[in-house]
């Protein structure tokens, strides 16, 4: 089975440009998570969806960040405009969901974003 698929794997852009990161969760998983990893802050939960509905977006840094999940097999994280401090590795993860407390999140390989 394919795991969580993220694209692009690497993105280098200039300050002020729009960045869109994409994620395809594992088929049948009901929960999807976006995390950001940096040396300074570690692993931060940005937002998570359950059954395509955003449940908790309290970790989204500011209005420049937005996330959507138009259907069960696709999600995007958009940064507009991007800033150098947004440079990080962004991970998407999915889980069976439903509040099962499995805790078994399946992570993608990450999208490494560099904003110059």
Partner 1 sequence: AQSVAQPEDQVNVAEGNPLTVKCTYSVSGNPYLFWYVQYPNRGLQFLLKYITGDNLVKGSYGFEAEFNKSQTSFHLKKPSALVSDSALYFCAVSGYNTDKLIFGTGTRLQVFP
Q: CA-to-CA distance for 83 and 64, rounded, in angstroms?
A: 9
Number of neighbours of residue 5 by Cβ within 10 angstroms: 14
* CA atoms in the 13 A half-sphere facing the CB of 19: 29
In the bound state with partner 1, the residue whose beta carbon lies nearer, of 3 and 16, is 3
Nearer of residues 9 and 83 to partner 1, judged by Cβ: 9
One of 34, 75, 110, 113 touching partner 1 (CB under 8 A): 110
C-alpha angle 79-85-90 in degrees, rounded to nearest 5: 55
How many residues in the shown chain lie near partner 1 by CB under 8 A? 28
Cα–Cα distance measured from residue 50 to residue 41, given in angstroms and rounded to the nearest whole number: 25
Q: How far is the CB of 60 from partner 1 (least distance, A)?
A: 14
Q: By rule CB under 8 A, what string of x and - marks binding of each residue 34-53 to partner 1?
A: -x------xx-x--x-x---
Helix (H), strand (E) counts: the chain: 0, 11
From the list 33, 36, 60, 86, which residue makes contact with partner 1 (rule: CB under 8 A)?
Answer: 33
Rule CB under 8 A: which residues touch partner 1?
4, 31, 33, 35, 42-43, 45, 48, 50, 55-56, 91, 93, 95-97, 99-110
């Amino acid at each position: 089975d394919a795991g969580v698929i993220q694209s692009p794997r690497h993105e280098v852009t200039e300050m002020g440009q729009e960045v869109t990161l994409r994620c395809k969760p594992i088929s049948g998983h009901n929960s999807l998570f976006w995390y950001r990893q940096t040396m300074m802050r570690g692993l931060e939960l940005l937002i998570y969806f359950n059954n395509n509905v955003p449940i908790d977006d309290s970790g989204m840094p500011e209005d420049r960040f937005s996330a959507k999940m138009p259907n069960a097999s696709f999600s995007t994280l958009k940064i507009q405009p991007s800033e150098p401090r947004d440079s990080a590795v962004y991970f998407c993860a999915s889980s069976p969901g439903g509040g099962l407390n499995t805790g078994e999140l399946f992570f993608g390989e990450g999208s490494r974003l560099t904003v110059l």
